[in-house]
């Protein structure tokens, strides 16, 4: 397995993804963890040092623990290349000009990589640069600004790239990575869809004949996690789907379909009244999120006690569809391990501690697109594994202010109209998420011949690749018009429909 040491670059996850796409297994680890493993005698097949926002001048770390292993293949990307430059006795300088965004590079010193042209456009993001290359290295790539873009050790399997081969904008980046893994590091391929599935099955097999509880939302992650676990666990897997009263019409339809068309043992837990009572008159977004999170835990606890008492079933494991991006921790010395809480995301995070459940997370090494691929290979329908994400707190964060039954109805009905029209217009897959938001204000309108003084529905549709940044979806005006007309005609209490044209940042995707 290849270890990718995370120095805090925003592209580190992409290195892993590209590496896996090329057929090599890889994981992201923090520098401290990497050092610890080396000290314990565990070495990877190959090490990639990622980019990072800091400067090698301020980095006091002693990297000799890596380079004393002379046959260990090491690829340094951006910051990683500057570390190589500094460690092996070259000179790294603060740049007068930086290179950000597109840059043109070319090979030098007769260096060649099969399948790539001699000149290519790549993505850069640096101001420091290696100004004198260490004596043991050759310069193999240079930018049109005459800066060193690639270096290769004369005798060891070590290479440095100043640009980011992992991003799409680096045209032949994947071929360059492949060159390193194949020709420099001499690795053999060990990652593909069936390996991925086998590894996940193995994690489930390891728990043996135990009762497993799954907090099942019907979303892609819990569906794939449950489907693959069911193949091993059979009836030992119990899926609880909590109806908190804050679900969309499409969710109710979906869960019924899953009950009919899969082998999963799904129990729908009706907790509508509990949730709505607990949320009565609460209008502050964070407080709503906390209450919904707490209620989920309470409902699960109640359910588990009921199973122990009435059916003598004792759950030992909680199955969760946790994905790799939630598992990765970057180096604590880089970001202090802290980030600002914008929204307290709700999952079922409090469950395991309170209920002494062990966690079963068979997807914890996978990215979303890998999970989707796995879902398809398990025989799940394409539209089940390509559903839009839906937040844990559900419509609770799409009804601004206090949650009233009438507001739930209006947001549910308008959401269903939007959903139907997206499918009809074949636009569902052209957007990352699409939903309606209930605004707790009234505006004046005219319906028939009379004055109306009613509520507003906002349409929110965004394009994004990971939910971290997003732009509003530029859909045809005719489509927006149809949705608006249907909502004002069919949803009682709505006279006005608006379209949110805010990107993220500064707006978040959800309104609360």
Show which residues are catalytic.
Answer: 78, 164, 166
> Quick check: 157 binds ligand XMP (CB under 6 A)?
no
- What distances in angstroms separate CA 67 from CA 31, 46, 155, 171, 222, one per listed residue? 14, 12, 13, 30, 42
Is 219 annotated as belonging to a binding site? yes
Shortest distance, position 241 Cβ to ligand XMP, whole Å:
15
> Quick check: 504 binds ligand XMP (CB under 6 A)?
yes
Q: Please say which residue, 9 or 433, places its beta carbon nearer to ligand XMP.
A: 433
Q: Please say which residue, 364 or 504, places its beta carbon nearer to ligand XMP.
A: 504
Is 221 annotated as belonging to a binding site? yes
Span 424-453, contacts to ligand XMP by CB under 6 A:
433
Tokens of 398: 């799409």
Instruction: Single out the residue of 218, 225, 205 nearest to residue 318, CA to CA.
Output: 225
Q: Please say which residue, 128 or 415, places its beta carbon nearer to ligand XMP.
A: 415
CB atoms within 10 A of CB 442: 14
Whether omega before 505 lies within 30 degrees of 0, making that bond cis, reads: yes
Q: Which of 165, 393, 394, 396 binds ligand XMP (CB under 6 A)?
A: 393
Q: Which of 345, 381, 474, 492 binds ligand XMP (CB under 6 A)?
A: 345
Span 362-391, contacts to ligand XMP by CB under 6 A:
389, 391
CB neighbours of 449 closer than 8 A, spacing ≥ 6?
Answer: none
Q: Which of 327, 467, 480, 493 binds ligand XMP (CB under 6 A)?
A: 467
Is 143 annotated as belonging to a binding site? no
> Quick check: 346 binds ligand XMP (CB under 6 A)?
yes
> Quick check: 349 binds ligand XMP (CB under 6 A)?
no
Shortest distance, position 466 Cβ to ligand XMP, whole Å:
9
Is 217 annotated as belonging to a binding site? yes
β-bridge pairing 129-132 and 158-161? unpaired
Q: Please say which residue, 361 or 510, places its beta carbon nearer to ligand XMP.
A: 510
Taking the C-alpha atoms of residue 115 and residue 409, their distance in angstroms, rounded to an integer, is: 57
> Quick check: 347 binds ligand XMP (CB under 6 A)?
yes
Instruction: Single out the residue of 73, 65, 61 nearest to residue 153, CA to CA.
Output: 73
On whether the CB atoms of residues 158 and 112 are closer than 8 A, the answer is: no
> Quick check: 285 binds ligand XMP (CB under 6 A)?
no
Is 220 annotated as belonging to a binding site? yes
Instruction: Single out the residue of 391, 473, 393 nearest to residue 432, CA to CA.
Output: 473
Q: Please say which residue, 210 or 343, places its beta carbon nearer to ligand XMP.
A: 343
> Residue 389: left if φ>0, alpha if ψ -120 to 50, beta else—which one?
beta
Taking the C-alpha atoms of residue 279 and residue 201, their distance in angstroms, rounded to an integer, is: 40
Residue ranges that bind ligand XMP, judged by CB under 6 A: 343, 345-347, 389, 391-393, 433, 467, 504, 508-510
């Amino acid at each position: 397995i290849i270890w990718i040491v995370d120095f805090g670059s925003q592209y580190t996850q992409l290195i892993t993804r590209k590496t896996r796409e090329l057929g090599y297994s890889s994981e992201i680890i923090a520098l401290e963890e990497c050092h610890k493993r080396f000290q314990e005698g565990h070495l990877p097949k190959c090490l990639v040092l990622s980019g990072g926002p800091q400067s090698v001048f301020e980095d006091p770390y002693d990297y000799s623990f890596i380079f004393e292993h002379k046959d260990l293949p090491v690829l340094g990307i951006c910051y990683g290349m500057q570390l190589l430059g500094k460690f092996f006795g070259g000179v790294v300088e603060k740049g007068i000009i930086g290179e950000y965004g597109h840059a043109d590079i070319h090979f030098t010193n007769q260096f060649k990589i099969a399948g790539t042209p001699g000149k290519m456009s790549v993505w850069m993001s640096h101001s420091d640069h290696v100004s004198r290359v260490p004596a043991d290295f050759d310069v193999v790539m240079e930018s049109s600004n005459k800066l060193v873009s690639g270096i290769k050790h004369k005798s060891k399997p070590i290479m440095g790239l100043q640009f980011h081969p992992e991003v799409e904008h680096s045209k032949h980046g994947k071929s360059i990575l492949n060159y390193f893994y194949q020709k420099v590091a001499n690795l053999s391929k060990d990652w593909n869809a069936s390996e991925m599935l086998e590894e996940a099955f193995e994690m489930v097999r390891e728990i043996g004949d135990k009762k497993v509880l799954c907090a099942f939302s019907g979303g892609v992650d819990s569906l794939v996690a449950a489907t693959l676990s069911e193949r091993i666990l059979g009836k030992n897997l119990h899926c609880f789907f909590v109806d908190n009263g804050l679900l969309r019409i499409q969710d109710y339809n979906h869960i019924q379909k899953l009950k009919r068309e899969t082998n999963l043992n799904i129990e729908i837990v009706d907790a509508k009244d509990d949730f709505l009572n607990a949320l009565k008159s609460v209008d502050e977004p964070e407080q709503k999120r906390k209450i919904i999170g707490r209620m989920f835990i309470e409902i699960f606890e109640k359910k588990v006690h009921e199973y122990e008492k009435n059916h003598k079933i004792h759950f030992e494991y909680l199955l969760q569809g946790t994905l790799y991006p939630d598992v990765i921790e970057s180096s604590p010395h880089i970001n202090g391990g802290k980030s600002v809480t914008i929204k307290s995301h709700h999952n079922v995070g409090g469950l395991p501690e309170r209920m002494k459940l062990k966690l079963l997370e068979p997807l914890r090494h996978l990215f979303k697109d890998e999970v989707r691929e796995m879902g398809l290979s398990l025989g799940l329908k394409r539209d089940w594994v390509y559903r839009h994400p839906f937040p844990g707190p559900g419509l609770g964060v799409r009804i601004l202010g206090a949650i009233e039954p009438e507001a739930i109805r209006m947001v549910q009905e308008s959401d269903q109209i939007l959903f139907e029209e997206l499918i009809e217009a074949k636009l569902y897959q052209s957007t990352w998420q699409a939903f309606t938001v209930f605004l707790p204000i009234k505006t004046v309108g005219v319906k028939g011949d009379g004055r109306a003084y009613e509520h507003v529905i906002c349409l929110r549709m965004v394009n994004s690749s990971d939910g971290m940044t997003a732009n509003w979806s530029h859909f045809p005006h005719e489509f927006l018009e149809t949705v608006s007309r249907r909502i004002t005609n069919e949803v009682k209490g709505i006279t006005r429909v608006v379209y949110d044209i805010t990107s993220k940042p500064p707006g978040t995707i959800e309104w609360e």
